[in-house]
Structure 1
Amino acid sequence: MKITLDWLKSHLDTNATADEVAATLNRIGLEVEGIENPAEKLKGFRVAKILTADPHPQADKLQVLTVDTGNGAAPLQVVCGAPNARAGLVGVLGTAGAVVPANGMELKVAAVRGVESNGMMCSSRELELGDDHDGIIELPEGAPIGQDFAEYAGRNDPVIDISITPNRQDCMGVRGIARDLAAAGLGTLKPLDVPSIEGAGEPAVDFRTDDTEGCPAFYGRTISGVSNSAAAPEWMLRRLEAVGQRSISALVDITNYVMLDLGRPSHVYDSAKLSGTVVARRAKDGETVTALNEKLYALTSDMTVIADDKGVHDIAGIMGGLESGCSEGTTDVLLEIAYFTPEKIAVTGQKLGLSSDARGRFERGVDPAFLDDATAIITDYILKICGGTASTVKRSGAAPVADKVISYDPNLSATLGGIAVEPARQRAILESLGFGVTEGDIWQIAVPSWRRDMDAAPDVVEEVTRIVGFDNIESVPLPRADGVAKPTATAEQMLERRLRRGAAAAGFNEAVTWSFISEKEAEPFGGGHWTLANPISEDLKVMRPTLLAGLLSAAQRNQARGATSIRLFEIGRRYLVDAERPTLCVVMAGDKRARDWQNGKAAPFDAFDAKAAAVELLEAAGAPADRLQVMDAVTEGQIWHPGQSATLRLGPKAVLAEFGALHPSLTKAFDVDGPVMAVQIFLDAIPAKRASGPARAAYTPPALQAVRRDFAFLAPEGLSAANLVRIIKGADKANITDARLFDRFAGQGVPEGQVSLAVEVTLQPKDKSFTDAELKAVADKVVAAAAKAGASLRG
């Protein structure tokens, strides 16, 4: 939100500079994103008077002017092509060195068609003051010659850009920011002048609310005989323009000003364009409305609208309709001041993809107790600027004003907030913010109607500590035993650290994606189990059921930007029906190895790369990799490619990881080219490591040389080679130290439906070398173990 220093001082009695205001705002939790002084853009431009205007000797459409720049300086010669340039005109001269705001051109002394020119007489468009560029600016004859134009035009008011967090609905107006600054000691909050306007007669247009859930209160009045051709006051237009609001008409400028000034949106309808009773109601499925942005919106029955007998005129709380908007010829208006339920506004805005200043305030929650005061203030502006006669105020429904009282122990500022604040100071802070304070052993804090974010004692602590200053919280070291800090990381955090280092060491790049995705992205994974009630957008609506969705989207973006080899990993949470599950996910796409002169074509990733990554990461996590069993994939839906994916388990039910190629339909849904390999490691399924001593046992190399024996087995094609190797390795744990598959063959000499698997077995003698009988005994155990797995020794 943008405010100007002058605008702020209309509510805050202070001598503070813009920099002092910004420093205080940052200190109390209202982050300042920047300060811009429009006078900087107009530096080098001054009020000047044309003394003479003679034809240019070399150009019919140019004139040679002599210009008085004031302050006793000699007149300057300026070449000008504006049709309205003439002797006696007072305008704006840009001198050498000035930079034209509209195009960034730096003015220099230069010859124009052979005649020296010492600057430029400027149009409104060139100074970004309007769209007029047919002639140069004409100022009143009494304008002070030589004065800086920024100062003359009131363009020297610094603009402060403030980032307002969603919970601070009270600071969505200049007055709310002024209140916070006053509480911080930067000045005194001025009283708000609320006029008393009784009005005469009933409103000429009847209105009511039929949707008390979406629009609990609909206040308003009609004003007849207004003149919308009148211009809003210069001070109002200047403030609106400074914060980026262009002038539309007097009536619209007034409502925009009050919205920015007091955080209170409103709407004005042209009464002549309304038919029958105006009603706040639910839309009907299929109804449409053309909004003020000239776009057509299709409505649904869960949206609140403002309609009359002819149809919808307003998307309630978000944007008015084009048909009933005020024009220059408007003479009678209906002023609407309503309260709309924040959650309803947020959902409607998200569904329609429609944002506006009004929506930003209504979905945060406006002050429900301010409807009457806002009606009076806006009516007063309209009567003073546009004239007319106001009716009495009609009130349909009731604003949800609830008395909220919080029990508060003032000692919490020290025990919870970390700052011991005297009770008298706490009371002064809270009262300056609008809270009511009743002291006792436990204070009773009455919450003002504009602070719907206040719910409990910790919220009160935050108000006190932020005004005192979070930088006043004393730094206190953690307790130490025997001078050594106790570890603070949990076992889960330590596991994630090991995996993060292991994945990075294996050549993967860490990605951090959104925890929420679109319904479309969740659909291939069976849909999301949790849907946000107030999402940032429709594309970030569902809590992710898997990390694959975010990583596949990231892979697609990388491919679109020319990446040929993608290795991404992420550690995060999956959100399932019963709980959120910590998970590590890996995605590999594109080339595993680039083409070169030795290997020829580039090599893509395959399922074995995914398996190798899964085993390596499980080893890094401390899982017993030697006991892992390879079994079928278990994830529901078309996620994994059949025959090119599997799971790693410790027993039939303990699934530690899934790995392999993703299903082509899944990669197509995310528009990722080529086969994609992936790994999902379920961190909560990894068995905890047992406590051990501070150091490992010393490594003693064996005294005798290892013995290796090769075995060739015939096995069914569906038999897992990894499981066969694991079974063989466990055939004689006392003597067999390793086993590995070194050959796989199918074809001539091998029966159909079977495959030849060759396994190298390593045996390690201890005290003495093996005898032939001992080697045969071990071999028999190997063959017997393989037979139980379904493999037979090949003859």
Structure 2
Amino acid sequence: MRFSEAWLRAYVNPPLDTAQLVHQLTMAGLEVDSAEPAAGTFSGVVVAEILETSPHPQADRLKVCIVAAGLPEPLQIVCGAPNARAGLRAPLAMEGAELPGGLKIKRSALRGVESCGMMCSAKELGIDENAAGLLELPADAPVGTSLREYLQLDDTLIEVDLTPNRADCLSVEGIAREVALLNGLDLTPPETAPVPVTIGDTLPVSLPAPEACPRYLGRMIKGVSRSAETPLWMKERLRRSGLRSLDAVVDVTNYILLELGQPLHAFDAAKLEGGIQARYAQPGEKLSLLNGQTVELHADTLVIADDRKALALAGIMGGSESAVGETTVDIFLECAFFSPALIMGKARRYGLATDSSHRFERGVDFEMQARAIERATRLILDIAGGEAGPVVEASGSEHLPKREPIALRSARISRLLGLTIEPPRVKDILSRLGLNPQDTAEGWSVTPPGFRFDIAIEADLIEELGRVYGYDALPRRQPVIPAAMRPVSEHSLALDRVKDVLVDRGFQEAITYSFVDDALQKFVEPELPGLPLKNPISAELGVMRTGLWVGLLDAALKNANRQQTRVRLFETGLRFIQRPEGLDQRKSIAALVMGTVNAEQWGEKTQPVDFYDLKADVEALVRLTGRSEALSFAAGSHPALHPGQTAEIKLDGECLGWIGMLHPRLEKQLGFEQNVFLFQLDQDILLQRTVPKFKPLSRFPQTRRDIALIVEAGLPVDRLVDCAQTHGGDLLREVSVFDVYRGQGVEPGKKSVALALIWRDDAETLTDAKVDAAVATVVEALAIAHEAKLRD
């Protein structure tokens, strides 16, 4: 919420300077993001009028202007602004003036023509970013008057960052209400007396969807002047709040939105057919909006319509067909209350974000509409003329928000805030908050006003008391909490330990959104439907993630697009999987690598990362659990991974996760120019740790025998290892692969696999005969199970 300090002080003027006011608002929970001057630092700039212009003799884009500046004689000014013309009143920096940035104006010659000053744009004066031409002033601006005094530029623009629960402060009046409360002052709101009705014209109003729009007010205003100029004071207040002046009627509706926090809309009455209704959109119905966008309406979207067509997206944006235009003479002014729950998220669904939807989503005072429409009517009549008809109201009172009394106990205040606030002070604060406190035996009974949607329970009231009393004035005490050491099982591996290993191996931790693009997720895991969000922050982040790969792929792609070709990322977090029995939230850890194994260096040749590099990272993690012997990789298929480089990871027979190279189709679709490798593991399985146990050292030596086997080239080596361990007997302590060979001496379609077999007997020294017999048993079992032959 951005507003002018001068506008705020028209409501309430506390004895505080700007810095003190900003601090007070921040300490009250209305965090001030910025406080900037309304204009740059300048002097010597006056209101001037261009009397005549003529082309510059030496430059096509320059004009020679004769300018009146309140001096006995006009001045000659050379100007290049496209809107410089006779009769225009605009700022003139006189000779000796100083502009923002330290620029000093001197008499000079431009292309041989003397210039006695400089006509200024809004940007040159630090007023606005618009530099398209001279700052045009009203035709009645007094020539020779100081521009700073005329525009009252000794002002500060304050921007407050409001939390979603403080919708009551999305207006100057709401901020002023807070300032008056904090300083114990009275508020002086603008006059909103009913406007005299001079015509009987009305339009019938109906509410087919009262649960979405429980209150709607409308009024005919006939004979408005479209040539009427918005007053300078209103233009300036709008500009300083970040809104451009458009025309008198639209400016008034925008002004009321900023002043009271109540959005309004004006329709061209000549373009309306029949009565007005707030209804849900019809199937296939389309609407052309004021921003030029045409949208196809969803069935749950509330629209304002006449008897033939939709006129506006309710609470969001008006339609172009019924908009006020240059030929408009009669207008229909609407002012409504829309249910926040029904408006929430609708604007973002259509790719829109408007000041109106921002307020209606958070909650507008449902008691404000009559006051707002009277205030707007008065301003329109004063500025653009016309005659006002009676206000027509349709209401579904049973659907309006209910404000139930809340009991506030004195003892509860002391318990939660840690101090005692005197009852008169409590009652004064509650009264200034608009809560109308009534005394009870235990404290007070209060009823929240229509503009405070955030007050519903006793704790909310006590929070308000603490906020107004002053957070910095509350006592600071250490809580008395009994401390007890919680047991930590040695069978659980700490997640931070896992993260440390990945960091040690060159990975960086990433934190991505838990909600992702539904289209991309369907490519990665099409068999798992994503849980849709009711109110997504954008259309690209509309569902909860079923896995961590989508976020990591997006992060890797952003790195690749910024010339970061070597990427090693990991993330831990929840996956959200819909099951028939409910939502399954799984803790997972995932990683992504692409680029080279090592960073570029002189000592080693550059080598691209491959499947086995990432497999080594997974094995390093499993080693932390002491269960490496139970780890296995089995060829498998996953829709996001390459058909020939995909493995299911198993630990003690359970599916630990998946590892592989990104599918070429996805790689091409996403725009990667190199191979990408990923793994994803189940945290609950990974973090189960086997506690090491001591075994006595054997007094007897071990015996090693190496065998080289010829097997089918496609046979997984771990099957040979498993078979050897199964048939090697109790004395076989270890089986390891130390060589795999294909080439000369091995027939095509075959490979040579060399196994190291280690035996040991803890009771006696093994004899060669006993070991030879065991080796023969293993070789025979391998021959039977896998047609393995000893290599010559």
CA distance in 1, matches of 2:220, 2:29: 41
Q: Following TM superposition, by how much is the alpha carbon of 1:221 offset from its aligned partner in structure 2, in angstroms?
A: 1.5
Q: Secondary structure at the match of 1:629?
A: strand
CA distance in 2, matches of 1:701, 1:6: 86
Q: Is the 8 A contact 1:90 1:140 kept in 2?
A: no
**2:620 matched to 1:616?**
yes
Q: Is the 8 A contact 1:275 1:308 kept in 2?
A: yes
Aligned counterparts, 1:472-511, within 5 A:
472=474, 474=476, 476=478, 486=485, 495-511=494-510
CA distance in 2, matches of 1:589, 1:159: 49
380-389 or 725-734, which moves further after superposition? 725-734
Structure 2 stretches lacking a partner, 5+ long: none
526-535 or 608-617, which moves further after superposition? 526-535
Letter in 2 for 1:712: A
Q: Is the 8 A contact 1:275 1:310 kept in 2?
A: yes
CA distance in 2, matches of 1:786, 1:675: 36
Specify which of 623, 626, 630 is matched with residue 629 of structure 2.
626
Q: Is the 8 A contact 1:124 1:137 kept in 2?
A: no
Q: Secondary structure at the match of 1:175?
A: helix
CA distance in 2, matches of 1:66, 1:271: 44
Q: 1:581 aligns to what?
A: 586
Q: 1:592 aligns to what?
A: 597
Q: Following TM superposition, by how much is the alpha carbon of 1:298 offset from its aligned partner in structure 2, in angstroms?
A: 2.6
Q: 2:251 aligns to what?
A: 253
Aligned counterparts, 1:273-352, within 5 A:
273-352=271-350
Task: Tell me the matched-pair count.
Answer: 775
Letter in 2 for 1:537: S
Q: Following TM superposition, by how much is the alpha carbon of 1:33 offset from its aligned partner in structure 2, in angstroms?
A: 1.5
CA distance in 2, matches of 1:407, 1:493: 48
Q: 1:514 aligns to what?
A: 513
Letter in 2 for 1:474: R
**2:234 matched to 1:230?**
no
CA distance in 2, matches of 1:140, 1:105: 29
CA distance in 2, matches of 1:262, 1:180: 14
Q: Is the 8 A contact 1:53 1:85 kept in 2?
A: yes
Go from structure 1 to structure 2 and tell me whether the alpha carbon gap of 1:324 and 1:84 turns closer, same or farther (over 3 Å shift).
Answer: closer
Q: 2:8 aligns to what?
A: 8
Alpha-carbon displacement from aligned partner over 1:501-527 (angstroms, at most 9, x marks no partner): 221111112211111012212212135
Aligned counterparts, 1:47-446, within 5 A:
47=46, 80-81=78-79, 92-93=92-93, 98-99=98-99, 107=105, 110-113=108-111, 119-122=117-120, 127=125, 133=133, 147=146, 149-185=147-183, 187-190=185-188, 193-197=191-195, 199=197, 202-398=200-396, 400-413=400-413, 425-438=425-438, 439-441=440-442, 444-446=445-447
672-681 or 120-129, which moves further after superposition? 120-129
Q: Following TM superposition, by how much is the alpha carbon of 1:412 offset from its aligned partner in structure 2, in angstroms?
A: 4.8
Letter in 1 for 2:299: S
CA distance in 2, matches of 1:381, 1:780: 104
Letter in 2 for 1:433: L
Q: Is the 8 A contact 1:48 1:93 kept in 2?
A: no
Q: Following TM superposition, by how much is the alpha carbon of 1:774 offset from its aligned partner in structure 2, in angstroms?
A: 5.9
Letter in 2 for 1:628: L
Q: Following TM superposition, by how much is the alpha carbon of 1:163 offset from its aligned partner in structure 2, in angstroms?
A: 1.6
Q: Is the 8 A contact 2:659 2:677 kept in 1?
A: yes
Q: Is the 8 A contact 2:235 2:245 kept in 1?
A: yes
CA distance in 1, matches of 2:487, 2:99: 57
Q: Is the 8 A contact 2:91 2:135 kept in 1?
A: no
Go from structure 1 to structure 2 and tell me whether the alpha carbon gap of 1:618 and 1:443 turns closer, same or farther (over 3 Å shift).
Answer: farther
Q: Is the 8 A contact 1:85 1:136 kept in 2?
A: no
Q: Is the 8 A contact 2:491 2:688 kept in 1?
A: no
Letter in 2 for 1:583: S
CA distance in 1, matches of 2:51, 2:644: 91
Alpha-carbon displacement from aligned partner over 1:624-654 (angstroms, at most 9, x marks no partner): 223212235476xx123234222222333x2
Percent of paired sites with the same residue: 31
Q: 1:710 aligns to what?
A: 706
Alpha-carbon displacement from aligned partner over 1:301-360 (angstroms, at most 9, x marks no partner): 332222224422212211112222223443221111122233433343122112211111
Letter in 2 for 1:631: A
**2:769 matched to 1:794?**
no
Q: 2:567 aligns to what?
A: 566
Q: 1:46 aligns to what?
A: 45
Structure 1 stretches lacking a partner, 5+ long: none
Aligned counterparts, 1:535-574, within 5 A:
535-574=536-575
Q: Following TM superposition, by how much is the alpha carbon of 1:177 offset from its aligned partner in structure 2, in angstroms?
A: 1.8
Q: Indicate the RMSD between aligned Cα atoms, in angstroms.
A: 4.4
Go from structure 1 to structure 2 and tell me whether the alpha carbon gap of 1:254 and 1:595 turns closer, same or farther (over 3 Å shift).
Answer: closer
CA distance in 2, matches of 1:132, 1:658: 59
Q: Is the 8 A contact 1:426 1:464 kept in 2?
A: yes
CA distance in 2, matches of 1:87, 1:292: 33
CA distance in 2, matches of 1:641, 1:261: 60
Q: Is the 8 A contact 1:731 1:785 kept in 2?
A: yes
Q: Secondary structure at the match of 2:362?
A: coil
CA distance in 2, matches of 1:244, 1:115: 39
Letter in 1 for 2:631: L
Q: Is the 8 A contact 2:33 2:159 kept in 1?
A: yes
Q: 1:641 aligns to what?
A: 642
382-391 or 767-776, which moves further after superposition? 767-776
Q: 1:672 aligns to what?
A: 672
Q: 1:744 aligns to what?
A: 740
Go from structure 1 to structure 2 and tell me whether the alpha carbon gap of 1:56 and 1:784 turns closer, same or farther (over 3 Å shift).
Answer: closer
539-548 or 305-314, which moves further after superposition? 305-314
CA distance in 2, matches of 1:397, 1:492: 64
Alpha-carbon displacement from aligned partner over 1:216-245 (angstroms, at most 9, x marks no partner): 322112122322322233322211111121
CA distance in 2, matches of 1:292, 1:108: 46
Q: Following TM superposition, by how much is the alpha carbon of 1:403 offset from its aligned partner in structure 2, in angstroms?
A: 2.3
**2:714 matched to 1:721?**
no
CA distance in 1, matches of 2:223, 2:65: 50
Alpha-carbon displacement from aligned partner over 1:1-23 (angstroms, at most 9, x marks no partner): 10111111233242322222221
CA distance in 1, matches of 2:702, 2:109: 95
Q: Following TM superposition, by how much is the alpha carbon of 1:259 offset from its aligned partner in structure 2, in angstroms?
A: 0.5
CA distance in 2, matches of 1:419, 1:507: 53
CA distance in 2, matches of 1:144, 1:170: 42
Go from structure 1 to structure 2 and tell me whether the alpha carbon gap of 1:610 and 1:49 turns closer, same or farther (over 3 Å shift).
Answer: closer
Q: 1:606 aligns to what?
A: 610
Q: Is the 8 A contact 2:492 2:689 kept in 1?
A: no
Go from structure 1 to structure 2 and tell me whether the alpha carbon gap of 1:413 and 1:495 turns closer, same or farther (over 3 Å shift).
Answer: farther
Go from structure 1 to structure 2 and tell me whether the alpha carbon gap of 1:720 and 1:117 turns closer, same or farther (over 3 Å shift).
Answer: same
199-208 or 278-287, which moves further after superposition? 199-208
CA distance in 1, matches of 2:459, 2:208: 38
Q: Following TM superposition, by how much is the alpha carbon of 1:478 offset from its aligned partner in structure 2, in angstroms?
A: 7.8
Letter in 2 for 1:657: G
Q: Is the 8 A contact 2:304 2:314 kept in 1?
A: yes
Q: Secondary structure at the match of 1:170?
A: helix
Specify which of 756, 759, 769 is matched with residue 760 of structure 1.
756
Go from structure 1 to structure 2 and tell me whether the alpha carbon gap of 1:202 and 1:591 turns closer, same or farther (over 3 Å shift).
Answer: farther
CA distance in 1, matches of 2:300, 2:53: 69
CA distance in 2, matches of 1:135, 1:430: 47
Go from structure 1 to structure 2 and tell me whether the alpha carbon gap of 1:782 and 1:678 turns closer, same or farther (over 3 Å shift).
Answer: same
